[in-house]
Structure 1
Amino acid sequence: MQAALNIIGDELKLVEQQFRKDLESDVPLIRKVGEYVLSSGGKRVRPALLLLAAKLCGYQGDKAVPLASVIEFIHTATLLHDDVVDSATLRRGIASANTLWGNEASVLVGDFLFSKSFSLMVGVGSFDILRVLSGATTIIAEGEVMQLLSTGELDLTEERYIGVVRAKTAILMSAACEAGAILGAVPADRQKAMADFGMELGIAFQLMDDLLDYTASEEEFGKSIGHDLEEGKITLPLIHTLRQCTAEERSVIEVVVEKDEMSLDEFREVSGLVKQYGGIEYTVEAARRYIAASQGRLDLFAPSPLRDALAELADYVVTRSR
């Protein structure tokens, strides 16, 4: 991350200011909840991707910061909705917004952020960017429904799971990179290269997130460990384990997945199987393949500190602890 921060650190501060400005509303709760989620941490990876992509593509105008703020608006809206759907109690190590203000307020403030995002997109004045970002928000919603439908499905294939990841998580990173390339007015092949870079990086990002549910402490992860398993989410470490384990062990996993509440011992039993059958290593290796593929997309661009910063940002994904 450091190389990226050295280049766009000042602009990321402007993104924070822009976000707070765009949160202005006659309803105080909207600002209160929005600023709470914004100030709760996070590395601002998505805005950073847009800013770096725009610079790599030669953009020198004044629309990158407002557009990066839009990306963070969309991301924040998805966090608010996700935590309600997942009944989450922690987000980035502190109480989630729905824990403090209730599900109703979280959903409605998320709706405000989504709606506000579209008016801000229009203000940028690019139909192509509006098309990319509005398309991404639609796909994110589809991804949420796809994940809901696959909850508890022990026969979920890796291919189908990656499809969920593309839609739910990776599409916004892809859209951020593509929007930056559109600002830079580069040829179509370079726009696609940036979109593909973001997509593959986003998949790796989610795979590592899946992994942390089984390996991190709550302090490291910033949310409850084992929560995905308790919610019946079949992620890649478990998909790999289910392909390798015995019928008896599969039955053990099935019982835990189907429970509404999971004990610590049950989590330890399933996470032990994940580790025993190499689910951790398999997921890390898959994430590394996606990172390598994403970095290969940058070959269309001439070597530069900006290209190196994007490549380093991709490497950060497989070393992050939260």
Structure 2
Amino acid sequence: MQPTVRDHALVDGLRAGQAAVEEGLLRATKSDVPFITEAARELTRTAGRRLRPLLVLLAARFGDPGAPGVVPAAVVVELTHLATHYHDDVRDEAAVRRDAPRPDADWDNDANWDNTVAVLTGDFLFARASHILADLGPRAVRIQAQAFRRQVTGQILETTGPREGHDPVEHHLDVLASRTGSLTAVSGRLGALASGADPSVADALARYGERLGVAGHLANEVATPTARRPTLPTLPALLLARAADPADRELYELLTGPAERAGQAEAVARLRAHPVLDLAREETARQADAARAALSALPDCPARDALESLCETVVAPTDTGRPRRSCG
């Protein structure tokens, strides 16, 4: 997922910034213990595009993009994102996630790749992120801590499910805002803070990032309606659950049941052709529109144009048949 950038100076600046971020990630994942270094870098190599560092770099364009804290801020948000991959994959007990090997799966036939190592590797990345973050000042630390609190809260809400009387769809959107949107929001806010941009710019970029993160995650759910995490339903499945048609509710039960349950493959095929996906796409578009609306408070410039193009890219359909990489 990359924005459309037509300004040559911005393209060059982003390329230089992204190269510096990659160097920073290599330094941050280095340890005196070779196994830790290799473990920490395994997911780094398979992480695909770096959306959150890109948001930091674009946010910094509303201040001084060459400020010394910009690249470290981008490294921090990516390390945090990678750390959550390790913890989430262990917690969700998924064999595959976003085309990358599960951290606690059989990695190079090494028996040490178990849940404990995966969790500790995530902790190592969190520790490295905190170390870098400390040099950015107490305000940056506070922003990151608030985002981490929201992420944990979102994980708890996702696990416990909606309270009695609360719409499961609204609950799901709240969970995504906390779990996924909070870190993309921090990316915009930290980029603005590190560059010395106006606080109002930082607020707008945080609102933008949160909605973009939710839209990206929903786009992934719509593109791959295969009940990859059966105990944690996706938006299309939840829309089925509140439908009046008993056949739709029966389809929901099949999709959210055990993966080996008879008839689930047929259920997935039924969902792929079901009109409920159009409703999920509409919600995805609404989230992307909300992200775009947040940019109206920003000055017109090439960086804003690039951010606006991401709102279109995030909801673009995919015909690959493979899971798209979401913002989560």
| Range of TM-score over shorter length | 0.7 to 0.9
CA shift in 2, pair 1:91/1:259, >3 Å: closer
| Residue 287 (1) aligns with residue 284 (2) | yes
1:56-75 paired onto structure 2 within 5 Å: 56-75=62-81
Which residue number corresponds to residue 102 of structure 1? 114
How far is the alpha carbon of 1:114 from its aligned partner?
1.0
| 2:69/2:195 contact within 8 Å kept | no
Q: Which has the higher helix share?
A: 1
Which residue number corresponds to residue 227 of structure 1? 228
Q: How far apart in 2 are the matches of 1:39 and 1:91?
A: 14
Which residue number corresponds to residue 171 of structure 1? 182
Post-superposition Cα deviations, 1:181-223, rounded to whole Å, max 9, x if no partner, equal 1123333322211110101111101111222331xxxxxxxxx
How far is the alpha carbon of 1:315 from its aligned partner?
1.8
Q: How far apart in 2 are the matches of 1:155 and 1:133?
A: 29
1:36-47 paired onto structure 2 within 5 Å: 36-47=42-53
Q: How far apart in 2 are the matches of 1:245 and 1:142?
A: 31
Q: How far apart in 2 are the matches of 1:38 and 1:63?
A: 21
Q: Tell me, which stretches of 5 or more residues in structure 2 are unaligned? A: 108-112, 319-323
Q: How far apart in 1 are the matches of 2:179 and 2:317?
A: 20
Q: How far apart in 1 are the matches of 2:17 and 2:54?
A: 9
| 2:62/2:197 contact within 8 Å kept | no
1:106-125 paired onto structure 2 within 5 Å: 106-124=118-136
1:21-40 paired onto structure 2 within 5 Å: 21-40=27-46
The sequence identity of aligned pairs, in percent, is 26
Farther off after superposition, 72-81 or 86-95: 86-95
The alignment's TM-score, normalised by the length of structure 2, stands at 0.86
SS of equivalent residue, structure 2 residue 256: helix
1:269-308 paired onto structure 2 within 5 Å: 269-273=267-271, 275-276=273-274, 278-308=275-305
Q: How far apart in 2 are the matches of 1:147 and 1:34?
A: 26
| 2:70/2:195 contact within 8 Å kept | no
How far is the alpha carbon of 1:155 from its aligned partner?
7.8
Q: How far apart in 2 are the matches of 1:234 and 1:92?
A: 17
Give the number of equivalent residue pairs: 306
SS of equivalent residue, structure 2 residue 260: coil
Q: How far apart in 1 are the matches of 2:215 and 2:286?
A: 8
Which residue number corresponds to residue 198 of structure 2? 187
Q: 1:133 aligns with which of 140, 144, 150?
A: 144
Q: How far apart in 2 are the matches of 1:44 and 1:208?
A: 17
Q: Which amino acid aligns with 1:168?
A: R
| 1:200/1:291 contact within 8 Å kept | yes
| 2:227/2:255 contact within 8 Å kept | no
Q: How far apart in 2 are the matches of 1:253 and 1:244?
A: 10
Q: Which amino acid aligns with 1:60?
A: G
| 1:241/1:274 contact within 8 Å kept | no
Which residue number corresponds to residue 220 of structure 1? none
CA shift in 2, pair 1:261/1:205, >3 Å: same
RMSD: 2.3
Post-superposition Cα deviations, 1:69-100, rounded to whole Å, max 9, x if no partner, equal 11110000000111111112223424222112
Which residue number corresponds to residue 110 of structure 2? none
Q: Tell me, which stretches of 5 or more residues in structure 1 are unaligned? A: 215-224
How far is the alpha carbon of 1:247 from its aligned partner?
2.6
Post-superposition Cα deviations, 1:78-126, rounded to whole Å, max 9, x if no partner, equal 00111111112223424222112121111110011112211110022x2
| 1:253/1:270 contact within 8 Å kept | no
Q: How far apart in 1 are the matches of 2:63 and 2:312?
A: 21
Post-superposition Cα deviations, 1:215-265, rounded to whole Å, max 9, x if no partner, equal xxxxxxxxxx4312xx222221112122225235424532552436345x4
The alignment's TM-score, normalised by the length of structure 1, stands at 0.87
